[in-house]
Structure 1
Amino acid sequence: MVRERGISTSAIIGIVVVILVIAIAGAYLATRGGGAPATTTASPSTTTTAPATTTTTTTTVAPPKGTLIVAMGTDASTLDPQDATDNPSEMVNRIIYEGLVEFDQNLNIKPMLAESWDIKDNGTTYVFHLRKGVFFQDGTPFDAYAVKTNFDRVLNSTLKLQRYSLYAPIISSVEVIDNYTVAFHLKMPFGAFLNDLAHGAGLIISPTLINSGKDVKTNPVGTGPYMLQEWVKGDHITLVANPNYWNKTAAPKFEKIIIKVVADDKARENLLKTGDVDLVLRIPPVDVASLNGTGNIITRAYPTSRVIYIAMNLMNQKFQDVRVRQAFNYAVDKEAIINSILNGLGKPATSPLASSTYGYCYAGYYKYNVTLAKELLKEAGWWDRDGDGYVENANGQKLEVNLWTPQGRYVGDYQMAQAVQSYLNAIGVKVNLQVWEWTSYLNEVRKPYNQSQNKELFLMGWAPSTGEGDWVLRPLLASWMWAPAGSNYGYYNNTQVDELIQKQMMTLGQDRLNAMCQAQKIVYNDAPWIFMVEMYDTLGMKSNVKGVVYLPIEIVMLKYAYSG
């Protein structure tokens, strides 16, 4: 609940941080040899400059007070933004860290740690002019060297960071022009580059932390309005206000934000009803309307860019016939799932991309058809040969599959998996359903193909944190992104799709959109997934919780929240 407190721990933290700032800043400057060497900028060309925003640092702000308590279904897996691939981690990271640029609630790009930027050399050079007077939570100054240290780290292939694959195909090098000017040299013009910087992987880590050798994922240090105080894995994360936050107009309003992990949907809802939490992620859709206005509770449902899908391990012999994969798609009644489990809050998936994602085109629709599903299985050599209700191949082997799912990560995830189990049973496929804790689940699905023999069907969701289609097609479907290098967890491989993904990375305008569209249609016909639904996201909160910003990429921005 939003709680008032008489003694501010942030005030104590502030005293300690102020004492340390000079020492740490001095040490950091010493490690990089004092001032920046003079360097020559790239040759001038057509320049596009983003509007600068200015923030006065003399504004008097009220000290933070009270505690905001939030309940979400799954824990963060890492607080290292360059190694995070899940939204729970990104949501927490966006409170602790900041990037050069940031999305607004409509996914427009706005300045953050960069005040403005120039685009030069036919789109292959981006020069950022950095905000001055910003310090990391450990007292290290933010500057061009900090930016370069971060991107040098994520571009270091030996570190095997998950987000290497986001930036390495695009960024050639990062150059310090002076203390507060940094240039990104790209390997090619790439129209989505600013979106990629607004991705959670573009959040800037303290270079002092990076150089210390400490594990970033449990020792996060950024420039954001809140800092990590405690992380009890599987239970809660406690963040405290940053007393030296640079942006006085957006200073933290709460002394603490506590994020509790509560897997069960109804249990989270009940905590809101009893007043034990202030905000709940993923209210059961069936309760969104009835809960709204109950006491001091308000609910919200937001369309998102997330597609829920059930991936198939294509290295497994069971799924190498496209007719089997298409049969599984026809066997599942997506509209019934949307109506019965999601209470109408969703749309059937008609592409790997959600219809709200930039670059989407309609690729097809596997409309529920049990007869066609059974015909396709029979064509592939699977039918009920002994009359026991399950299909067998010519050797008498039954088509039996494992279906994995998290519980509480996505709205209705477990219930959707149960429905799929029932639908596949109806066409003679025996399905063994297994529920996983989220972090363990991610660790398992990320394994390379030769270590994933038991991974067969597994429910996943993807909302591109760049807000556009490249960051669906490339990480999920490019052959060079097979796990663990990327998020192609089902090991999909199509040479034509690879070529189209590369083409859309190197072209602009309608040519890029055409390549993306063609790739979507091929993938949909190949059916490497059971294409499920485009999701809505649901929130419930007390009516006095204000300032929460929802991004369509399924990120809840808590850093602006206040009690009012």
Structure 2
Amino acid sequence: MSRRLFLLFLFASFMLIVYLSFPTNLYSKETEQPKKGGVYRKPLEFSPKILDPALSIDTYADTINQQIFDGLVQFDPDLNVIPSLAKSWNISPDGLTYTFFLREGVKFHNGREVTSKDFVYSFTRILNPEVRSSSFDFFTRILGAKEYIEGKSKEVKGLISQDKYTFKIILSEPYFPFITIMAMRGSKVVPREEVEKKGGDFGKSPVGTGPFKFVSMKEGEEIVLEANPDYFEGRPYLDRIIFKIFHGAPRERIFKEFLEGRLEESFIPPEEIENVIKEKKYLFLQKPILSLRFYGLNPAYKPMENKAFRKALNFAINKAYIVSEIHKNQFHLARGILPPGMPGYTTLKETHILITKILRENI
């Protein structure tokens, strides 16, 4: 790597330069007003590895699983925790016991009603070492998890089916963010009979409670879902969703297929953004997501081992220019390693106070 290129990466970096992604998508004008029926074709840049919420490790699977599965609670657009299959819940004063009151009459896609025992099974499955769940660590604070994992108990003491529609979780110690874990990817309910019948193929033919049911998967090509007429919040407007897989193809190809009428939405290549906005032919959506991009420095090399030098680089860079001119406003300049909306995010005012303090210490 040339010295010039090396410095370019340095400059672009220590800002803790953290950029918050702003996915910039186009939608056909036909999708502007809701109407019943129709098929929505959505691009996926890569193929999901498995459609099992307990095993999911990629955002592509999450995109699909959000349509197939539900949990006790969910996030609203502002990342507040709101009801889902649990119509309400309470937390004991000591922060150890979470009691969830389930909606009655919610059905799995196979027609069976969901009960509290299904959550006991689903969460116990996550803690089963043989399953190797990607959500395993989030559930180890549940009372009795350690004994179950070590094979000293056949059940998890803190997972309790109090009655058909009351599910209780007892923690071994208070953990404030636990309610948010219940809204995350692994905390979805699955039907035991389907998991045991399909075994390792459950993630290729999943059954959940969500607004859409799994129909088919053409490996590496597309995944088809259809509307769930029995969904507890009502039947979706759409008849089907088809996820088209592009295997990491350039976004220009996805955009081309959108323009040719083979997709209902598309990413916009940076060089096309201004033209799209001017044309006003399509719906234009730009929204922040909890994603960070940054360049890191290696302090093992000179002059990066000098802390004052690294700070000087940080303040020397016109970060706003990088965001607006190089990335065409597809990113938002972050103020730290946590994006807005995530607990612990530092506000602009707090950042200004911190920068002022650093400058006083180093000038």
TM-score scaled by length of structure 2: 0.72
Of residues 192, 197, 204, the one that matches 1:218 is 204
- What does 1:50-449 correspond to in 2, within 5 Å? 65-169=37-141, 172=144, 173-212=158-197, 213-248=199-234, 251-262=235-246, 263-280=249-266, 282-292=267-277, 294=279, 296-309=281-294, 321=300, 335=319, 337-361=322-346
**Structure 1 residue 139: deviation in Å?**
2.2
Partners of 1:145 and 1:322 in 2: CA distance: 57
Partners of 1:64 and 1:347 in 2: CA distance: 36
Partners of 1:309 and 1:110 in 2: CA distance: 32
Partner of 1:411: none
Partners of 2:196 and 2:318 in 1: CA distance: 49
**8 Å contact kept, 2:216–2:224:** yes
Partners of 1:232 and 1:324 in 2: CA distance: 52
**8 Å contact kept, 2:141–2:173:** no
Partners of 1:103 and 1:152 in 2: CA distance: 23
**8 Å contact kept, 1:236–1:260:** yes
Partners of 1:159 and 1:322 in 2: CA distance: 43
Alignment RMSD: 3.2
- Structure with more contact order per residue of length (Cα contacts < 8 Å, sep ≥ 6): 2
Partners of 1:201 and 1:325 in 2: CA distance: 40
**Structure 1 residue 129: deviation in Å?**
0.6
**8 Å contact kept, 1:304–1:356:** no
Partners of 2:83 and 2:335 in 1: CA distance: 34
Partners of 2:223 and 2:296 in 1: CA distance: 31
**Structure 1 residue 295: deviation in Å?**
6.0
**8 Å contact kept, 1:288–1:301:** no
The alpha-carbon distance between structure 1 residues 241 and 324, as it changes in their structure 2 partners (threshold 3 A), is: farther
**Structure 1 residue 214: deviation in Å?**
3.9
Partners of 1:255 and 1:217 in 2: CA distance: 22
Identical aligned residues as a percent: 25
The alpha-carbon distance between structure 1 residues 293 and 220, as it changes in their structure 2 partners (threshold 3 A), is: farther
The alpha-carbon distance between structure 1 residues 123 and 325, as it changes in their structure 2 partners (threshold 3 A), is: farther
Amino acid at match of 2:300: D
Partners of 1:154 and 1:142 in 2: CA distance: 18
Amino acid at match of 2:237: K
Classify the secondary structure of the residue corresponding to 1:200. coil
- What does 1:529-544 correspond to in 2, within 5 Å? none
For each residue in 1:528-564, what CA deviation from the matched residue of structure 2 results, as whole angstroms up to 9, or x when unmatched?
A: xxxxxxxxxxxxxxxxxxxxxxxxxxxxxxxxxxxxx
For each residue in 1:93-134, what CA deviation from the matched residue of structure 2 results, as whole angstroms up to 9, or x when unmatched?
A: 000011111111121221110111111151110000111111
The alpha-carbon distance between structure 1 residues 284 and 324, as it changes in their structure 2 partners (threshold 3 A), is: farther
Partners of 1:349 and 1:211 in 2: CA distance: 45
Amino acid at match of 1:230: S
How many pairs are equivalent? 296
Partners of 2:143 and 2:318 in 1: CA distance: 40
The alpha-carbon distance between structure 1 residues 89 and 322, as it changes in their structure 2 partners (threshold 3 A), is: farther
**8 Å contact kept, 1:305–1:354:** yes
Classify the secondary structure of the residue corresponding to 2:182. helix
Partners of 1:322 and 1:84 in 2: CA distance: 38
Partner of 2:21: none
Classify the secondary structure of the residue corresponding to 2:41. strand
Partner of 1:491: none
For each residue in 1:217-269, what CA deviation from the matched residue of structure 2 results, as whole angstroms up to 9, or x when unmatched?
A: 21211001111112223322111112332322xx1212210111233211222
For structure 1, the residue ranges without an aligned partner over 5 or more in a row are 5-62, 313-318, 364-516, 518-564
